[in-house]
């Protein structure tokens, strides 16, 4: 059984993330979407809330599981028997950072491979940060996040505005 892990902060999950999830799920027997902690970011949602939001948007994908982890990604993967990390690439600027992380992961766990998956062209501009900023200004989010979670994003933004 081939198991891949798609790690990220997913704060919130976007249509770009969902596109990578769908495409990856069609290649692997099982895809684990793993909500990770990114110390460089100030999250809008807790890890548990992000897991729930992702689960709501992936219910029609039976081979997709959603989990969270606060441990080193390669250790999390070893505990699952997963051998492939999926990373979405929006632009060349993503490549440098992801390439560096992939090399570190290979040094830590030589049996784990990283697959860099180019974003669909219609989502190359999209990030969770962009979604949060648009939500703060009341933009229509239907073209950016799954419809199942639009209200959650808007409510959280509204409760965090000062």
User: pTM score, two decimals?
Assistant: 0.94
Residue 90 annotated to the active site: yes
- Catalytic entry in 2, 26, 41, 129: 41
Residue 17 annotated to the active site: yes
Q: What is the pLDDT of residues 108-150, one digit of tens each?
A: 999 999 999 999 999 888 899 999 999 999 899 999 999 999 9
- Catalytic entry in 56, 68, 90, 156: 90
Tokens 């809330």 map to which residue? 49
- How far is residue 10's CA from residue 68's CA, in Å, rounded to a whole number? 11
Q: What is the pLDDT of residues 91-101, one digit of tens each?
A: 777 888 899 99
Residue 128 annotated to the active site: yes
* CATH code at position 22: 3.40.50.620
3-class secondary-structure state, position 10 = coil
Give the residue numbers spanning the domain of 21: 3-160
DSSP label of 106: H
Count how many domains the chain has: 1
Collect all residues with Cβ–Cβ distance below 8 Å to 79 and sequence separation of at least 6. Answer: none
């Amino acid at each position: 059984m081939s198991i891949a892990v798609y790690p990220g902060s997913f704060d919130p999950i976007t249509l770009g993330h969902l596109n990578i999830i769908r495409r990856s799920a069609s290649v692997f027997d099982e895809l684990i979407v793993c909500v990770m902690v990114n110390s460089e970011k100030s999250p809008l949602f807790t890890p548990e809330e992000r897991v729930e939001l992702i689960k709501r948007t992936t219910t029609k994908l039976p081979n997709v599981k959603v989990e969270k982890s606060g441990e080193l990604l390669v250790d999390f993967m070893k505990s699952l028997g997963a051998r492939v990390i999926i990373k979405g690439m929006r632009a060349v600027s993503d490549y440098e950072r992801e390439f560096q992380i992939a090399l570190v992961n290979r040094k830590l766990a030589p049996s784990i491979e990283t697959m860099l998956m180019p974003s669909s062209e219609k989502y190359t501009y999209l990030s969770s940060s962009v979604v949060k900023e648009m939500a703060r200004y009341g933009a229509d989010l239907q073209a950016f996040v799954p419809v199942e979670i639009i209200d959650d994003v808007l409510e959280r933004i509204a409760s965090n505005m000062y």
